[in-house]
């Protein structure tokens, strides 16, 4: 009985081996029966059998086929098993893809969907973005990082911490906070007035302010009332009120006096108020347009606590001080004529 069981076991083992052998012979037909015993047929090509394996991770410079590490010859990814493999264009083999988070995790490849992948290219436009470059082997690779030009080599430059050719420039590598962009293949602050047209106005020129180009009057000129351009500022004799905030005229309540203001200038007055004290300001004109602003400090930008900017002949402000200090009244004329005004402060 024991002898019969042993014979049956041997026959089963032999049958299994024959099955594997028959399978390899059948596959060998796809290679015209040219494969050796040490080879298997993959994609109609004889390749050398290697170490036994379970997954691609068990193999070095090859992939797992039928539990054997195998060098699969390929021309592109479609020759490989699935998306876990890629065709290495340098060696011509199917290799297991590596897990990655960024391009820096990959060597001679780039990171796509957390897998190191060789992306074929003809030039840089085939790659994902400016951080990749098309190599001489026609695959997208991560650009070399740098801090200075000396890190990049001859005829190269360092911009945005990446090495670029001298004739390359990308806006994403420029210092956006400093308003830089690519100007003649170099990161620089562009001349916003280039191509900006002010020809519809007279006596004007272009200036770039706050990262924006606009038309401004030439020196000695001011905006015309119909806003079609600028006219020469007429001769005007101003009164004694200072035209800068630092030298403004100190006044106290009550105040009632006529003043004369010239175009393109502002008058300034200093008024000291106690915390909780209310001031009433009234400005009356007979012609033109004047606006008034009350500031909490000498920095004009962002310091307005109250204002009156109507197109009427009377402008008024009522304000209650939040702390004991000087407040600064600014009188701003508009259009081309000099203006007489009555200032009343109570």
pLDDT in tens, 219-253: 888 787 777 888 887 777 778 788 888 989 999 99
137 occurs within a structural domain? yes
Number of domains in the chain: 4
Rounded Cα distance, 71 and 206, in Å: 67
pLDDT digits (tens, 9 = 90+) for 164-179: 877 777 777 777 666 6
What is the model's pLDDT at position 29? 65
Tens digit of each residue's pLDDT (9 = 90 or more) over 242-295: 888 898 999 999 999 999 988 778 999 999 999 999 999 999 998 888 999 999
- Asked whether 94 and 81 are in contact (CB, 8 A), the reply is yes
Q: Are residues 179 and 197 in the same domain?
A: no
Q: Check residues 3 and 344 and name the one with the higher pLDDT.
A: 344
Phi/psi at 122 (5° precision): -105, -35
Per-residue pLDDT, 17: 43
pLDDT digits 0-9 by tens, 138-195: 788 778 888 888 888 887 888 778 888 777 777 777 776 666 777 766 777 777 788 8
In sequence order, what are the beta bridge partners of 47?
40
Residue 107 placed within a domain: no
Q: Please indicate, yes or no, whether residues 339 and 257 belong to a single structural domain of this protein.
A: yes
Is there a domain that residue 270 lies in?
yes
| 261 and 307 housed in the same domain | yes
Looking at the fold, whether 84 and 171 belong to one and the same domain comes out as no
H or E element, residue 11: helix 2-28
- The CA angle 34-38-44, to the nearest 5 degrees, is 40
Task: Tell which residue, 332, 315, 323, 312, has the closest CA to residue 269.
Answer: 332
User: Does residue 226 sit in the same domain as residue 156?
Assistant: no
Token pair, residue 157, equals 């430059």
pLDDT in tens, 57-79: 777 777 787 888 877 888 777 87
Q: Are 77 and 151 contained in the same domain?
A: no
Q: How far apart are CA 38 and CA 47, in angstroms?
A: 8
Domain range for 167: 119-188
pLDDT above 70 covers a percentage of the chain that reads 86
Question: What pTM, to 2 d.p., does this model score?
Answer: 0.40
């Amino acid at each position: 009985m024991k002898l019969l069981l042993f014979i049956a076991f041997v026959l089963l083992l032999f049958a299994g081996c024959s099955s594997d052998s028959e399978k390899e012979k059948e596959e060998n037909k796809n290679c015209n029966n040219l494969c050796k015993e040490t080879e298997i047929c993959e994609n109609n090509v004889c390749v050398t059998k290697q170490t036994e394996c379970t997954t691609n991770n068990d193999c070095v410079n090859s992939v797992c086929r039928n539990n054997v590490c195998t060098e699969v010859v390929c021309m592109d990814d479609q020759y490989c098993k699935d998306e876990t493999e890629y065709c290495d264009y340098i060696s011509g083999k199917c290799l297991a893809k590596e897990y990655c988070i960024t391009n820096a995790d990959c060597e001679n490849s780039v990171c796509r969907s957390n897998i190191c992948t060789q992306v074929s290219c003809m030039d840089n436009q085939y790659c994902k973005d400016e951080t990749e470059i098309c190599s001489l082997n026609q695959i997208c690779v991560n650009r070399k990082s740098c801090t200075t030009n000396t890190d990049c080599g001859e005829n190269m430059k360092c911009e945005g911490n990446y090495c670029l050719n001298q004739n390359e420039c990308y806006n994403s590598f420029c210092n956006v906070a400093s308003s830089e962009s690519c100007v003649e293949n170099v990161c620089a602050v562009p001349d916003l007035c280039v191509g900006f047209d002010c020809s519809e106005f007279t006596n004007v020129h272009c200036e770039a302010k706050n990262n924006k180009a606009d038309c401004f009057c030439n020196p000695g000129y001011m905006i015309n009332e119909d806003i079609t351009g600028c006219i020469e500022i007429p001769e005007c004799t101003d009164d004694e009120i200072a035209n800068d905030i630092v030298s403004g005229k100190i006044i106290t309540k009550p105040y009632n006096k006529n003043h004369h203001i010239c175009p393109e200038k502002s008058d300034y007055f200093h008024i000291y108020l106690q915390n909780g004290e209310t001031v009433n300001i009234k400005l009356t004109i007979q012609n033109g347009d004047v606006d008034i602003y009350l500031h909490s400090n000498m920095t004009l930008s962002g310091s307005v606590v109250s204002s009156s900017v109507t197109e009427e002949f009377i402008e008024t402000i009522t304000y209650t001080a939040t702390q004991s200090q000087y407040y600064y009244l600014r009188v701003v004329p508009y259009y081309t004529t000099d203006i007489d005004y009555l200032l009343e402060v109570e």
